Each structure stands twice: as structure tokens, then as C-alpha cells.
């Protein structure tokens, strides 16, 4: 019941934010022949988990797993895992703002992990697993901060939300074997026992926002 209440709260907050800026599209914009796309970057623990969840949202075109927020250029996964590079495991989401808004992505972000855990998600411990939003524009920053404040003030969580909100620097794409990880390694123990339960809960929460066939 508590998780359902949190979900309802998140929906209300997202609708409030949409009402404030319904005609604006935050983030980097790329214009193709018939489509405008924007990008958003989130860190919510292991990128294998968050990638699998965001891939299923209608309007999401591409999800890339990678690293951001650190000081070491071109880090390897092994380096990031030491916790000494300053990087977080993140996903870069390319989306169609005509089909899904930045506010809805924020909603999905906070539902995809526990934002009250500092530098960890479950058994994944370290600064590389921190909860973080890297914004691409002042508008993304404003919306993320507003959403975070209202979510905290709502009392949806018993503990403070520790999500970091920071400017986007360089995104470093992770090695090829990390990309589309769950879909290619679904039988692996981590996928079965960690990712799959999270993904099932995510699907229930966003049942009306998933790509067709899911």
C-alpha cells in the first residue's frame, strides 16, 4: 500500500510540473527529418537495472549505459568499480518529447531505485552507485530540483532523499558488453534475482506507458 501511495504522489508531482512548463522541452535537442529528440542522464545504482527499465518506456528511443561525474577521462568499468574515479554508473536516455516528457522520465527515475540510500543500491555499495541526476540545461535543473523538493515535502519517504543534482559533463559510454545487458543476459543470476523483480514492479507502475508488446 505504501508503494502505491508513493506512485500516486509521484504522478501528482509530475502533473504539477507539466502544468508549469507544458510547452517547453528541456535538454539537448537534436533535429532529424521528422523528429525532435532530447537527452536525459540518470544514475540510480547499477546501470544494468536502470537501462532495462527505461528501455521499455514508450517514447524512449535509445538507452546507453556509461559513466559520468568523475575526474578520470575514458574510465574503464574496472576503474569505476574501485570507487576512485568519482564517476557514477549512469544511463543516457534519448527520447521523443512528443511522446514522453522530461517530467515523466523524472517520475520513472525516482521509481526505478531507492533515492534515500546514500552511495548504494541494495548490495551494490560505493559512490559509483549514487543516486544522481545530471542536467543538460537550466530548465532540467529547475524541474529536477522542484520535483525532488516536492517529493521530499510530501512525506513519501521516511528518510531524506539523497539524490544529487549536478551539471552534465562528459558522458563516457561503457564497454559494449554492458549495453542492452538484461536483454542479452537474462538468465544470469544477477538478472534473475536483482533486475527481474525490479523490472516487474516497474512494469506494473508504468503499465500505461510501456512500448507495445510489453
Copy the grid coordinates of residue 53: 527499465
Name, in order, each residue with C-beta under 8 angstroms of 4's C-beta and a sequence gap of 6 or more: none
Copy the grid coordinates of residue 102: 522530461
Name, in order, each residue with C-beta under 8 angstroms of 45's C-beta and a sequence gap of 6 or more: 89, 113, 120, 121, 122, 124, 129, 131
The single residue of 9, 18, 46, 81 carrying the catalytic annotation is 46
E strand or H helix that includes residue 145? helix 138-154
CB atoms within 10 A of CB 186: 13
Quote the strand ranges of the chain, DSSP E: 29-31, 36-44, 60-68, 88-95, 120-121, 124-125, 131-135, 164-167, 172-173
| Known active-site residue 46 | yes
Tell me the catalytic residues: 46
Amino acid at each position: 500500500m505504501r508503494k502505491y501511495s508513493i506512485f500516486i504522489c509521484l504522478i501528482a508531482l509530475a502533473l504539477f510540473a507539466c502544468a508549469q512548463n507544458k510547452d517547453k522541452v528541456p535538454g539537448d535537442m537534436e533535429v532529424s527529418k521528422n523528429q525532435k529528440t532530447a537527452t536525459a542522464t540518470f544514475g540510480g545504482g547499477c546501470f544494468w537495472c536502470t537501462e532495462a527499465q527505461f528501455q521499455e518506456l514508450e517514447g524512449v528511443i535509445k538507452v546507453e549505459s556509461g559513466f559520468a561525474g568523475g575526474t578520470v577521462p575514458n574510465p574503464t568499468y574496472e576503474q569505476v568499480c574501485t570507487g576512485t574515479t568519482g564517476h557514477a554508473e549512469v544511463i543516457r536516455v534519448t527520447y521523443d518529447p512528443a511522446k514522453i516528457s522530461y517530467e515523466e522520465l523524472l517520475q520513472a527515475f525516482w521509481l526505478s531505485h531507492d533515492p534515500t540510500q546514500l552511495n548504494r543500491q541494495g548490495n551494490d555499495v560505493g559512490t559509483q552507485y549514487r543516486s544522481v541526476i545530471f542536467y543538460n540545461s537550466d530548465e532540467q535543473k529547475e524541474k529536477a530540483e522542484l520535483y525532488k523538493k516536492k517529493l521530499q515535502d510530501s512525506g513519501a519517504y521516511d528518510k531524506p532523499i539523497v539524490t544529487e543534482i549536478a551539471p552534465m559533463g562528459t558522458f563516457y559510454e561503457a564497454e559494449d558488453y554492458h549495453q542492452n545487458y538484461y536483454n542479452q543476459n537474462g538468465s544470469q543470476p544477477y538478472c534473475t534475482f536483482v533486475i527481474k523483480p525490479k523490472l516487474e514492479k516497474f512494469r506494473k507502475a508504468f503499465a500505461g506507458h510501456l512500448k507495445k508488446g510489453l
